[in-house]
A and B are shown apart, each in its own frame.
Chain A
Amino acid sequence: GESVGLHLPTLSVQEGDNSIINCAYSNSASDYFIWYKQESGKGPQFIIDIRSNMDKRQGQRVTVLLNKTVKHLSLQIAATQPGDSAVYFCAETGGTSYGKLTFGQGTILTVHP
């Protein structure tokens, strides 16, 4: 079946650097995308979302970019901090999926002080 996948399973950065986490999706009917952060022992925490009628959305220190042509999604974290260390998941829904979120594998982000 169709799924969301991540290119890089791990990402290691220095504190203060900008981080970019990538995600590829294959369901052309997807029209809503979300990034979640999951810290050890906790549930996924909503970071930012984007609808398919947009190609960029900014939050506090985070930006999500959507390229529907190549079915690619990215999360940019500015001035990465040690507290940003976590697993990051992209998720998508759309078409006949209704409320169902399809999650990618996740990327482990490690921020070194």
Chain B
Amino acid sequence: DSGVTQTPKHLITATGQRVTLRCSPRSGDLSVYWYQQSLDQGLQFLIQYYNGEERAKGNILERFSAQQFPDLHSELNLSSLELGDSALYFCASSGGPGLMNTQYFGPGTRLTVL
């Protein structure tokens, strides 16, 4: 158990809908990262927050957004969902903002868009 929690574990929804994925980092970690894992793209970095501020951005679609709250939990919002958004979404956390802080991953949320 990495100490990172994610809810829900599974999510099934329809195209055009909006969903929110939630992540609680390990106790004491200030950085939260979101990744998408799909069969054709592998594990792709989406976005990083550090202590409530956006720190780095990957190939995150404009339909996707995230935030980190004062209690350090984070939410990833996916809107106008398309079939291709079906994937595993992982959250990771680390103690610091920088390059060499080990990222520990949560169990993921499996999103299925029908």
Contacts and interface: CB of A to CB of B under 8 A. Distances in A.
Interface in A67-113: 89, 91, 93-94, 97-106
- Select the residue from B33, B42, B104, B106 with max chain A CB neighbours within 10 A: B42
B44 to A, nearest CB: 8
A99 B102 contact: no
B99 A44 contact: no
Nearest to A102: B45
Main secondary structure of the interface of B (DSSP, over half): strand
Contacts, number: 71
A103 B42 contact: yes
A98 B108 contact: no
Interface residues of B, number: 29
A100 B56 contact: yes
B97 interface: yes
A15 to B, nearest CB: 26
A51 B43 contact: no
A41 B97 CA distance: 28
A42 B107 CA distance: 5
- Select the residue from B55, B92, B101 with max chain A CB neighbours within 10 A: B92
A103 B46 CA distance: 12
A46 B104 contact: yes
Contacts of A34: 102-103
Main secondary structure of the interface of A (DSSP, over half): strand
Contact of B108 (A36, A43, A93): A43
Contacts of A51: 100
Contacts of B24: none
Contact of B43 (A42, A46, A103): A103
A111 B58 CA distance: 35
Contacts of B99: 31-32, 93-94, 97-99
Given A43-B2, A43-B108, A99 B42 contact: no
Interface of A: 31-32, 34, 36, 42-46, 49, 51, 89, 91, 93-94, 97-106
12 contacts: A34-B102, A43-B92, A43-B108, A44-B90, A45-B2, A46-B102, A46-B105, A98-B48, A100-B56, A101-B33, A105-B42, A106-B42
